Amino acid sequence: MRLRDLLDESVIQVGLKSRDKEQCFEEMIDLLVKAGRISDRAGALAAVRQREAQGTTGIGMAVGIPHGKHASIPTLTAALGISEKGIEFESIDGEKVRLVFMLLARVDDPGPHVRALAEIARLVQTPGFFRRLLDAKTPKDVLDVLDAEE
């Protein structure tokens, strides 16, 4: 699975305004609503919060991957946000999150969701990838980084 296939400029936010993970969840969900990717804002937000209650999705290395499954989601969808100052995320390493990959999936189809999580994990471990994303100034720049890496 290519993460790039899930993203376009409408679901990438360079310069997230959020200071904590709750604000981040709302900002990312609003991005997906505005892009027409999800129709049930409250349901999607509840799914992300429910998953987060099980344990932080701040995986360390300044990366967060909030995700959830909800009946209103017709197909796997994603958004990517970049924070200049970092977001308090209760990450496993205690560091602020700078890159946020949000995934929302169908309840009854875990395969694509799991493959997307694996691809994100692979990408963030690729030397130089993190820095190139942080240096991106526009959503198009972010897509160019993904195209080059995938």
6-39 confidence digits (pLDDT tens):
999 999 999 999 999 999 999 999 999 999 999 9
From 21, 67, 98, 106, active-site residue: 67
Cβ contact 8:143 at 8 Å: yes
The answer on pLDDT for 111 being more than 90 is no
Catalytic, 67? Answer yes
The answer on pLDDT for 44 being more than 90 is yes
The answer on pLDDT for 96 being more than 90 is yes
The answer on pLDDT for 135 being more than 90 is yes
DSSP three-state, residue 138: coil
Among 63, 135, 128, 61, smallest CA distance to 99 is for 63
Percentage above 70 pLDDT, the chain: 100
Cβ contact 61:100 at 8 Å: no
- The single residue listed with the structure tokens 């205690």 is 94
Confidence (pTM): 0.94
The answer on pLDDT for 91 being more than 90 is yes
- For residue 110, what pLDDT band results from cuts at 50, 70 and 90? confident
Interval 70-76 mean pLDDT: 93
The answer on pLDDT for 1 being more than 90 is no
- Residues 78, 19, 63: CA angle, nearest 5 degrees: 45
Tell me which fold the domain 3-149 belongs to.
Mannitol-specific EII; Chain A (3.40.930)
Interval 69-96 mean pLDDT: 95
* For the chain, domain boundaries: 3-149
**pLDDT number for residue 83:** 97
- The single residue listed with the structure tokens 């200071």 is 19
